[in-house]
Amino acid sequence: MIEVENLSRRFGTKRAVDDVSFSVGKGEVLGFLGPNGAGKSTTMRMITGYLAPTSGRVRVCGFSIADQPLEVKRRIGYLPESAPSWPDMTVLGFLQFAARVRGLQGTAEREALKRVVAQCHLENVLGQSIDTLSKGFRQRTCLAQALIHDPEVLILDEPTDGLDPNQKHEMRALIRDMARSRVVLFSTHILEEVDEVCTRAIVIDRGRIVADGTPAELRSRVPSGRLDDFFRSVTRSDLEPEAGSAASASPDASSQRDARVAS
């Protein structure tokens, strides 16, 4: 239901996303895993139509984001990074606004509101203004707006960022539950989420896919069987120079990376 082909995005001379291709089917929970700045959010923004690619193609539910953007957006629910919202609106007012933007009115709007309030457990905060909510309830409120039109595809950008352990557990349970009838793509840099939530994970580093497989398959590629060890073996620290720089071209730097990936 999501097909990404040779997707790239440049910002000036920097290639933030570099020839990325993958597909996701119904019932899959695909974790988009990578260090900060790896290109996860940029890729997700291109899939949703928020950002135009420099090159490549995206299709969602058979529709091209370039040629049929409204058809794609009707089928996507999107929770952006940092859960943006209007802080002076009440939770109910914000969700009503989101429903009407999606074309829901009357009975359809009321039923959609009832459904997402129950799904996201917002019953006790409907009358509160968003700026008075805890981080967990703000995340839930913005997730509810992403679900208001009952989308076929759900794209979540670091949905558990900044949540406490209890809130993370609840958010992960929500993601697992929603995946039964949808495609779910969510980005994270928290390795434990891959084991707990994902049926499959893609690791992206400096704009390129460096691994794709089930959590068990990824763990099996390192002697320790630990996902964090595998992650370090295929990604680079921000302290390492970019490819093509004088330092990265030195024999010592190259041999160190080769040894790490082979381990």
pLDDT score of 236? 79
Q: How far apart are CA 160 and CA 94, in angstroms?
A: 21
CATH number of the domain within which 70 lies: 3.40.50.300
Residues 117 and 230 in one domain: no
Residues 20 and 46 in one domain: yes
Question: Contact 1/26 with Cβ under 8 angstroms?
Answer: yes
pLDDT score of 162? 73
Report how many domains make up the chain. 2
Q: How far apart are CA 119 and CA 179, in angstroms?
A: 13
Residues 244 and 215 in one domain: no
pLDDT score of 242? 57
Residues 211 and 226 in one domain: no
Single pTM value for the model = 0.83
pLDDT score of 237? 63
Which of 203, 220, 237 lies at the terminal end of a domain, its last residue?
A: 220
Q: Where are the alpha helices (DSSP H) in the chain?
A: 40-48, 69-75, 91-101, 106-119, 135-147, 165-178, 191-197, 215-219, 227-234, 251-262
Residues 79 and 172 in one domain: yes
Residues 194 and 253 in one domain: no
Backbone torsions φ then ψ of 164, nearest 5 degrees: -80, 170
Residues 104 and 31 in one domain: yes
Residues 258 and 153 in one domain: no
In this prediction, the residues of the chain whose per-residue pLDDT falls under 50 are 239, 245-263
Give the CA count within 13 Å in the CB-facing half-sphere of 206. 12
Domain span at 179: 2-220
Residues 243 and 156 in one domain: no
Q: How far apart are CA 183 and CA 3, in angstroms?
A: 12
Residues 48 and 140 in one domain: yes
Residues 185 and 258 in one domain: no
Residues 133 and 233 in one domain: no
pLDDT tens for 11-62 read: 999 999 999 999 999 889 999 998 888 999 999 999 999 999 999 999 999 9
Give the CA count within 13 Å in the CB-facing half-sphere of 160. 24
pLDDT score of 171? 84
